[in-house]
Chains A and B, each alone.
Chain A
Amino acid sequence: MSPSRRVFCAALCQAAATVAVAGARQNAALPIVRGQVDGETIVVRVTSTPLDAVGGRARVASTAGAFLVTRLDTTVFVALTGTCSHESCQITDGDAQAFVCPCHESRFSVEGMVLRGPAELPLERYATGFADGVLTIRL
């Protein structure tokens, strides 16, 4: 198994376990973590948030957009646009396997690929950085 596939599976398993333990309904609102806009960058302090642990996922809210963030490894994050590629609704929901658009129920993988339409296009992915507990998402 490749490293990227391993961390991907780890993230999914963690997410699945979180849902199972919490006994949440299958399609629940994603936790929200606040990000601050600094020029063309969104700055997110992940300590004590759902993104503090590997496998954590959250919707990062800011005044410049919303982002679907998954922590794949200690320093590896995936940040996707929070805007659905179908009709530009805000993606606020998720289940153990996917991000789910509440408008038309398109499902996207942690990496933004379309798992189920009506969306046809993947979610745009943003470059990220991580140091000293701070995640940066570059617009």
Chain B
Amino acid sequence: MKHLASGTAAIVLLASIALSSQQAPNVAIDQDDIGGVVRGPKGAEAGVWVIAETKDLKTTFRKMVVTDDQGRYVLPDLPNATYDIWVRGYGLVDSPKVQARRGRQLALTAVSAPTPLAAAQYYPANYWFSLIRIPAESEFPIGMIQHQAQWIFQTKSSRFQMGSKATRELHPKLKTMGLKTTTEALRYATVAGQMPEIQIFNQGFPMFADWVDRVAAGAVPPAPERPAGLERNLVVSMWDVSNDVPFMHDVVSADKRNPRMNPNGRIYGVEFHNDGLVVLDPLEHEERTITIPAQVEKSKMRSFTPLTADNPSLTFGEEIVIRDHSNPNHLTMDARGRIWISAAVNVTATPAFCRQGSEHKYAKADPFDESTRHLAMFDPRSETFTLIHTCFRTHHVQFAIDGTNRLFSNPLGGQAASFGWFDVDLFDKTGDQQAAQGWCRLYFDVNGDGRPDRDRPVPGGPYSVIQSPTDGSLWGAVTTTPGQLVRLSLGANPPETCVGEMYQVPFDPYPTKSGVQTGFLPRGIDVDSQGVVWTGLAGSGHLASFDRRKCKVLTGDTITSGRHCREGWTLYPTGGPKMQGVTADWNADFHYYSYVDRFDALGMGVDTPLMNGTNSDSLIALDKRSGKLITLRVPYPMGFHQRGMDGRIDDPNTGWKGRGLWSANGTRAVWHTELGRQARGQIAHFQLRPNPLAK
């Protein structure tokens, strides 16, 4: 038997050698595809990307696919244009660009990287970031930082990709300013410009300087694995949108409750830096930006980013490039195709009805004096905005799935643990902005009588919000170390029946000693059809689920600790690269938000949980069949820093072609990406084929 197997292997090997010496075989393509084989010096290149880019359309368009195990590829369904096409992959440097039009076979030649350092220039930011040396667990506390997890939290950034070329290398201008040390240069960089292009906490300067110095001296990160298995089935389509200083925080493609809504329709995105609503028509390859208005002169409103700078920007000098009075953060679509945006529409002071002394029932319970972000609704049919000055601060917005058509929002940190909502049906009927608003702060209900204990508030303002389809409760994640999930049960008569709960992420500050699986820093949140909550742990690099049905204790004093339901949690490590000095199961990854594909828009099955690989240019999905996380990587331009995703099914009868996930590059510094100052905002469509050659 052993002999036979060896013989079979030899025949296969001989056949493959014979094939590789012949002309590359054709791959099946249609008239609007380009296909072929990628070969390198050692033969077929499996798991490398073939990238097509064109500027022939109304906006720059790209399509990217991965080669199969024989180096074959198909770029499917290309718009009519001439494309630059090249190969990119780990272990390679970019191949020379060749021009091609659709409908042809195109053999491509991969170019091996001459050195490990040359190869590493194509690695995602998290790999470079993993070279940073975190103080050992035993060295803590350090100043006010109590343990290694708190330090890692401080080291990571949600603003842009730590580890990108722009963060791991000193800006050229810094080298001409007479600054004596790398630390001095980094100190300057943290206070240069309206929005400094690097964030470093005070104790972190020596660590960051050491990292930058070692990178400058030629340090090379570990190599990522090439895409494999399902990861090779990915097709990424990408359109340039907006301006050259965009902050494309999020996009929406359909009603999250019904992803078959708005088929083949426009994609909407918020451009935070300059108060824009971006509209992309992916069929016409056309995009435009509409300015979000306000109820008062914008000069009277607080801008999110200062309109002055302490020191000239390293990139923009004295120029003021960000004017974000509306600072639109997130958006969602209702069943009528209207776009609901969390955006500032007025001053920070709330209307009188929100405050103490008001007869508004929610203000009587919990008055709000300030709200820095509100609601703007855009109706695509009339191209008009409706502006709503909410009492509660908005941040992420999600529609109810209990049939009430309430739009829920979390407050972020600003208004403690609370959730607000706007009753869209009531507003549509009456036009009454006040009556349509409601909100509840979260208080524990220790004795379980369904009434809040108003002397026992739930700590922490949630960063996210979602309603559970199983019981209508609202969930959010609090972005601290370790961080927690909070849950609000509205009850029959809110606010009197609003009760809160809290579930801390499993955590031990010294996990190497204790052996306890430990995570920290949840941010985004979603919930599957069974009511299981999913959240990416941005600090530790995990996907986590929490199933409240597993909790043995739900009442009593112990619930106020948040540590009473360890059994509800399951943590899935991403396998990302570990930062130096870290022995716990934590890594250099950062996950801004989370998503559950409840309707199978991606094609990995209903209820597939995903999270952003925010500093690894990827969406990360849990393959429930294998229990493994798979990485859906955007290879170009490097620096695809996303903050969310949204699924849409355009046509359920056309297989993979009729479905996909949408996301945007949400970096605050798009000029940090591979294209530098040539970069614009980007919206991407992720589609998963049944195999890498599906056309």
Contacts and interface: CB of A to CB of B under 8 A. Distances in A.
A26 B370 contact: yes
Interface residues of B, number: 45
A117 interface: yes
A116 interface: yes
B310 A32 contact: yes
A73 interface: no
B413 A117 contact: yes
Interface of chain B, main secondary structure? loop
Interface stretch (B16-24, B151-159, B507-515, B626-634): B151-159
Interface string B450-468: 0000000001110100000
Contacts of B459: 117
A62 B179 CA distance: 14
A9 interface: no
Interface stretch (B240-248, B476-484, B497-505): B476-484
B382 interface: no
Interface string A65-107: 1100000000000000111011111101100000000111110
Interface stretch (B63-71, B185-193, B315-323, B548-556): B185-193
A127 interface: no
A96 to B, nearest CB: 12
Q: Is the interface of A mostly helix, strand, loop or mixed?
A: loop
Contact of A106 (B150, B187, B413, B463): B413
Given A61-B310, A63-B188, A63-B311, A88 B200 contact: yes
A121 B203 CA distance: 13
Interface residues of A, number: 36
B159 A118 contact: no
Contacts of B369: 26
Contacts of B311: 61, 63
Interface string B149-185: 0100010011100000000000000000000000010
B144 A121 contact: yes
A104 B478 CA distance: 12
B412 A104 contact: yes
B414 interface: yes
Nearest to B483: A118
Given A25-B302, A65-B190, A83-B190, A118 B480 contact: yes
Contacts, number: 106
B321 to A, nearest CB: 16
B143 interface: yes
A105 to B, nearest CB: 4
B306 A124 contact: no
A63 B184 CA distance: 9
A61 B191 contact: yes
B199 A89 contact: yes
B145 interface: yes
Nearest to B184: A64
A27 interface: yes
A81 B310 contact: no
B461 A117 contact: yes
A9 to B, nearest CB: 22
B27 interface: no
Q: Which of B150, B157, B199, B393 has the most CB of A within 10 A?
A: B199
Interface in A33-47: none
A10 interface: no
A97 B599 CA distance: 48
B104 to A, nearest CB: 49
B17 to A, nearest CB: 55
Contacts of B157: 87-88
A62 B190 CA distance: 11
Given A62-B310, A64-B191, A90-B191, 15 more contacts: A63-B187, A63-B191, A64-B187, A65-B187, A82-B191, A83-B200, A89-B159, A102-B302, A104-B412, A104-B413, A104-B414, A116-B416, A117-B413, A118-B413, A124-B203
Interface of B: 143-145, 150, 154, 157-159, 184, 187-188, 190-191, 196, 199-203, 302, 304-306, 308, 310-311, 347-349, 369-370, 372, 393, 412-414, 416, 459-461, 463, 478-481
Q: What 3 A-B pairs come out closest when comparing CB atoms?
A: A88-B199, A61-B310, A105-B414
5 contacts: A26-B348, A26-B370, A102-B305, A118-B412, A120-B150
